[in-house]
Every structure is written in structure tokens, then in C-alpha cells.
């Protein structure tokens, strides 16, 4: 059949007519021809499409376990001429440990998977994940959390992204851990986000080990749009952070997660506890995570330190990391021990209480619990009992008061 080449001259357009005018005329003629087709021909075509859609909806519901709503949505994204290939995909997933629920989740999120070739597309990716250290038991969890990992190109996306991460974090098991945390971010082209951001950090002198830790702890934050990332980095530098120090990247993490409104709200919470804006900023420089704590946590912990323990608010600003500790599991039990030891004159009154909170568990218990167990037999029981409490009891200050006065039997 001879092909007819259509040009703008065939529609009577002169050279002064623009290309846009030609396209508009062409669209009009196509629509005119389409509308002149016999109604029965268009009805047959619509009926066939409807039958195909209905068949796919049934397949998604009966074979993949999707709900009617999800099956209808999936049928709009993919259609297969026959279900043999789709059946092979489902069998392949089942043979690699995927439960029916996980298969349903994978297909529901990424229905295009059922149209992929098992040998050419899917199996090489599954083998790739195994080769980099993803355990067979973990594979279904990884894929069901991010189904599009099976849909993107192995050659152009998965393998290059893995190699890029490996160059930063070195160990395969760490790459896998980062991949799990990144989820959808791992599907992006690293050349357009993560790579420029890492290059910028290197350019301003951030040590390689710090960059590695940053990517491991905050992979999604390291993968944001480069223009936004540079803005955050420059803001952190302007706040006085040194790129050579680990706190620099912690500050980037926190600033990247906070809105201006959220930041100002935290400033106000600390102001109510007596911190000036400068004191809050200095506390942020000492430990950026103090601005990531919830307002409720800040209020409860400051209330305990200031109102129950009698500490100065400004002293806490100098060791803001203590605000991050669990009130019930660390702060209250240790302060219980400290109060008892102070009441019996076993430790110096000028001992910095903040320093006791930052000690590791083994060191604290050895230095302040088991060391004085002979002189204060009830100390270990007090410490362990307080650690096992589900929350801070209202009678805590009364209990400590009894211990301080040496009349524990009345408590």
C-alpha cells in the first residue's frame, strides 16, 4: 500500500501560514474524518476496549488479590494480550518467598510488573539484589515496600546507584541498609540529586567519613534537589558551623526537616523556659538535635530538670544533648540515684549532674550504683524499679524526699 505524504500545501496553506496553523487544520480534519465513521464501527471499538478492561479488572482481582477499586485503577495502567506472562510473573514472585499479601501490594502499587518478561527483566534484578547482600527472607520485604525497584532499569538505574553508594559507604551491608531507608529516593537518577550534593560537600571541605555517615543516617535528606540542598548548607555555614565537624551535617539534617514556622515555635518554647534567642542558637550549635525534639518532650523534660531537680535552665542550655534522653528510662532513674547519694554525702554536691546523664549505662551503673551498694543496699532496687516504670509517677518528688531524709520505710 502506497504511503501518502501530507504537507501543509495539500491543505491550501500558503507560505505565510505558520506551522501551528497547519497543525490546527490537520487536527480539525482528523476529527472530521473520525466523526464521519459509521457509528457501529466506533461502538465495536468501544465495546472491545471495555471487554479488555473488564478482563484485566477480573484478572487483578482473582489472580492478584486486588480490591475492585485497586483493580480498576491498575487496569488503566497496563493491559496484556494474554495472562500467561502475567501468571509467570506471579509464580516467580511466589517462588522467591513473596506471600499473597506481598504480591498483591507489589502489583497494586506497580501493576506494570505483570507485563515484564521474567527471564529478561525480573530474574536479573532479583539475582542482583541477592548478589549485593539482600537476604532471601528480606527480598520480599524490600520489594513490597518499594515495588518499582523491579520496574526500573537494572543497567541504567539500579546498578549505577548501587555503585555510587558503595563508593561512599564501602560495605555492601551498609549499601543495603541505606537502600532500605531511601526507598523511593533510590529510584531517582543520582546524577541529578545525590551526586551534586555530595560533590558540594566535598568542595567545601567536609571529610569523607562524615559524608559517609551523613548518607547512612540521612539518605533522603542527602538526595533532595541540589538548589535546595545548597541553600540549607549555606544557611548552616552562616550560623557558624564548621564543615570539618560532625555537627555541621547534623545541623543540615535538622534545618532540612524543619519549616520556618516550626523553627520559630521551638525558639518560643525554649524562651518560655528562660533561654534567650542567642542561648537557643548556642544550644543548637552544641547539639542540633535539640531543635528536633517535640515541644511536649521539651516541656516535660525541662519541667523535671528545673522544677523537680532545681537545676538552672541556663546550665541545661550548655548541655542540650541531655534533653534527648528518655525521661522515664534514663533521666528519672539516674536522678533518683544522684539524690540518694547526695543526701548521704557519698558524692560531692558540686558534681555536675549533666555529666552523669551522658555516661554510658555500664559506666554509670558501675560508678554510682554497684559501687555504693554496700552502704546503700536499696540503691540497686531503686534504680531498676525506676527504670521499669511505664511513666513518671506524680509521687516521684515525694519518694525522693523520703530517701533524702533517710526514712525510706515511710515511702
CB contact at 8 A, 158 and 149: yes
H and E: helices and strands count for the chain: 22, 0
What one-character-per-residue DSSP string does 268-330 give? Answer: HHHHHTT--HHHHHHHHHH-GGGGTS-HHHHHHHHHIIIIIS---HHHHHHSGGGGGS-IIII
CB contact at 8 A, 96 and 128: no
- pLDDT for 44 equals 45
- What class does CATH assign to 51-151? mainly alpha
pLDDT digit string, tens, across residues 89-137: 999 999 999 999 999 999 999 999 999 999 999 999 999 999 999 999 9
- pLDDT for 50 equals 66
- pLDDT for 60 equals 94
- pLDDT for 114 equals 95
pTM of the model: 0.74
Count Cβ atoms below 10 Å from residue 255 Cβ, excluding itself.
Answer: 20
Low-confidence ranges of the chain (pLDDT < 50): 1-37, 39-45, 390-411
Q: What is the largest CA-CA distance in the chain?
A: 108
Count Cβ atoms below 10 Å from residue 64 Cβ, excluding itself.
Answer: 23
- pLDDT for 373 equals 87
Q: In whole angstroms, what is the distance from residue 205 CA to residue 242 CA? A: 10
Structural domain boundaries of the chain? 51-151, 325-389
pLDDT digit string, tens, across residues 54-95: 899 999 999 999 999 999 999 999 988 889 999 999 999 999
- pLDDT for 134 equals 92
- pLDDT for 34 equals 46
Amino acid at each position: 500500500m502506497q504511503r501518502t505524504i501530507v504537507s501543509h500545501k495539500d491543505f491550501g496553506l500558503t507560505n505565510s501560514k505558520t506551522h501551528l496553523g497547519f497543525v490546527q487544520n490537520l487536527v480539525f480534519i482528523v476529527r472530521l474524518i473520525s466523526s464521519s465513521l459509521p457509528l457501529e464501527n466506533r461502538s465495536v471499538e468501544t465495546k472491545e476496549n471495555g471487554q479488555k478492561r473488564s478482563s484485566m479488572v477480573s484478572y487483578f482481582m482473582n489472580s492478584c488479590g486486588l480490591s475492585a477499586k485497586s483493580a480498576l485503577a491498575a487496569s488503566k495502567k497496563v493491559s496484556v494480550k494474554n495472562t500467561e506472562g502475567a501468571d509467570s510473573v506471579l509464580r516467580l514472585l511466589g517462588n522467591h518467598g513473596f506471600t499473597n499479601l506481598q504480591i498483591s501490594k507489589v502489583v497494586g502499587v506497580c501493576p506494570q510488573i505483570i507485563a515484564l518478561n521474567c527471564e529478561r527483566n525480573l530474574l536479573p534484578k532479583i539475582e542482583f539484589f541477592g548478589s549485593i547482600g539482600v537476604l532471601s527472607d528480606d527480598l520480599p520485604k524490600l520489594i513490597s515496600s518499594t515495588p518499582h525497584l523491579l520496574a526500573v532499569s537494572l543497567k541504567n538505574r539500579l546498578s549505577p546507584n548501587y555503585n555510587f553508594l558503595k563508593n561512599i559507604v564501602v560495605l555492601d551491608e551498609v549499601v543495603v541498609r541505606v537502600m532500605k531507608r531511601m526507598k523511593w529516593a533510590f529510584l531517582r537518577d543520582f546524577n541529578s540529586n545525590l551526586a551534586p550534593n555530595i560533590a558540594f560537600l566535598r568542595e567545601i571541605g567536609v571529610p569523607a567519613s562524615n559524608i559517609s555517615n551523613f548518607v547512612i543516617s540521612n539518605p533522603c535528606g542527602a538526595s533532595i534537589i541540589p538548589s535546595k540542598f545548597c541553600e540549607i548548607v549555606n544557611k548552616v555555614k552562616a550560623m557558624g558551623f564548621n564543615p570539618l565537624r560532625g555537627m555541621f551535617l547534623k545541623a543540615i539534617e535538622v534545618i532540612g526537616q524543619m519549616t520556618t514556622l516550626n523553627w520559630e515555635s521551638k525558639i518560643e518554647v525554649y524562651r518560655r523556659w528562660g533561654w534567650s534567642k542567642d542561648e537557643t542558637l548556642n544550644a543548637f550549635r552544641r547539639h542540633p538535635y535539640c531543635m528536633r525534639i517535640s515541644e511536649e518532650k521539651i516541656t516535660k523534660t525541662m519541667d523535671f530538670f528545673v522544677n523537680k531537680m532545681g537545676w538552672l535552665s541556663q546550665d541545661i542550655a550548655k548541655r542540650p544533648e541531655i534533653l534527648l534522653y528518655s525521661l522515664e528510662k534514663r533521666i528519672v532513674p539516674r536522678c533518683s540515684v544522684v539524690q540518694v547519694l547526695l543526701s548521704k554525702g557519698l558524692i560531692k554536691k558540686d558534681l555536675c549532674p549533666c555529666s552523669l546523664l551522658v555516661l554510658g549505662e555500664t559506666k554509670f551503673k558501675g560508678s554510682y550504683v554497684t559501687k555504693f551498694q554496700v552502704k546503700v543496699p536499696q540503691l540497686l532496687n531503686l534504680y531498676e524499679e525506676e527504670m521499669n516504670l511505664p511513666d513518671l509517677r506524680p509521687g516521684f518528688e515525694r519518694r525522693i524526699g523520703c530517701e533524702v531524709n533517710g526514712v525510706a520505710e515511710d515511702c
